[in-house]
């Protein structure tokens, strides 16, 4: 699978809503499967939006797994179709982010992005069921990142302090230093 990288116009386009009647179609189900398989095959990366795969459709996959840097995280697999954040709770907090579309992981960019720690989301799941749920923590952060993708925004658009930009290697060094302190 080819990933659309920063600079590709599809990443700056508002994704088309998926008609509810088409969610169970072979095309949409294959897209969901392909996106899930791609994300599952990556050591890094917790979310993927259809525009990152060249498809301007409002579909995102979240796949969070425990890692050495996040051993306490529960495993989460979530399919979001036509997601819409309907409520943000509290103040935004600066959180580290990177992006699969920012280039190969070893030379990828990371920076601190202000995100809400808790959100309320309405969406359809992979079976077409309408859902409304409150998410918090890392899951809320990842959802906000992926919803931004579906709205033609990249995490770099939200960075408030350009001094936080770093490479993957330096980001990993910072994370290890923090976990050892």
Where in the sequence numbering do the catalytic residues fall? 146
Angstrom distance (rounded) from CA 62 to CA 141: 11
Nearest residue to 50 via CA among 150, 153, 151? 150
Q: For the chain, what is the radius of gyration of the CA atoms?
A: 16
Contact 38, 76 (CB under 8 A): no
Scanning 7-154, the segments in alpha helix (DSSP H) are 26-40, 137-150
Matching residue, tokens 């969901």 = 32
Angstrom distance (rounded) from CA 173 to CA 108: 14
Q: Is 96 helix (H, G, I), strand (E, B) or coil?
A: strand
CA 91 to chain centre: 20
Count CB-CB contacts under 10 A for residue 163: 8
């Amino acid at each position: 699978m080819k990933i659309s990288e920063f600079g590709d116009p599809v990443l700056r386009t508002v994704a088309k809503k998926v008609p509810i009647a088409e969610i169970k179609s072979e095309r949409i189900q294959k897209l969901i499967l392909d996106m899930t398989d791609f994300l599952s095959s990556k050591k890094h990366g917790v979310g993927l939006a259809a525009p990152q795969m060249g498809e301007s459709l409002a579909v995102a996959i979240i796949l969070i797994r425990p890692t050495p840097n996040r051993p306490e995280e529960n495993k989460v697999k979530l399919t979001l179709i036509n997601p819409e954040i309907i409520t943000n709770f509290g103040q935004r907090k600066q959180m580290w982010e990177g992006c699969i579309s920012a280039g190969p992981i070893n030379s990828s960019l990371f920076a601190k992005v202000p995100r809400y720690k808790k959100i309320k989301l309405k969406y359809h799941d992979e079976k077409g069921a309408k859902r409304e749920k409150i998410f918090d923590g890392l899951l809320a952060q990842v959802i906000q990142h992926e919803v931004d993708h579906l709205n033609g925004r990249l995490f770099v658009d939200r960075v408030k302090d350009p001094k936080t930009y770093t490479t993957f290697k330096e980001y990993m060094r910072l994370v290890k230093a923090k976990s050892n302190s």
